[in-house]
Structure 1
């Protein structure tokens, strides 16, 4: 039995997501939340109501029909701003706090790293770097970075 086959999800006049449950109950202002946004972004998405309670569980986004999948993917993309660092261009100092200039999948940017504890190892060479404003930057595979970027990064690991 496929619980997601009849998933009714749409946007209201204000652009908020509305879920109509199997019992006909309408839930306005629902939000999708990934269980594993980095490790398994296609797996485990919860649709929660305005009160934070789970209303619906989705095992795989890719298994959804095209219409609700597109709505969920658009909503997730707007909520999950996490640029991927492709190259580290410069670091102001090798002590913290330090200013970093990086190239991301969304363009060039600079940020301040408050401390080495703001660089978290995620496994498989991935890193999560949190800047002084709480913005998260992802390094998918630190070993795949160019030589200069790896050398700059190693000073902080």
Structure 2
């Protein structure tokens, strides 16, 4: 069985997908009531699974009537994707940012799940056993080379 975080994430992604504006506004307490959990569980899901690296912009307002607004950031079309990727990767990229970019590309169906898994394995710090900042520089070069080969 899936855990409550997975269920909340799936629910938020489904309502986000159905939203014509590409954004949803929720109240933590209402969502916590819906899933019979504490509001901090909602905070955990939003802060770990809806990050900028994964392609989401999150805004929140605390206090009475407070809300959380989640917006999906769309990747550019195929024609400007290369420029976006080169700008995003730059000369060095950390593991979290690299994994987030791979996640975005997989979600947008630019990469298959197999290709994404292979890329994550190739750029992990366990494989790139070099000291910083060289590790992040090597990771950036690997990412660029793999994406050129995969996306043409």
Q: Which interval holds the TM-score relative to the shorter structure? A: under 0.3
Q: Which has the higher strand share?
A: 1
TM-score of the two chains, using structure 2 as the length reference: 0.26
Higher relative contact order (CA 8 A, sep 6+): 2
Q: Which has the higher helix share?
A: 2
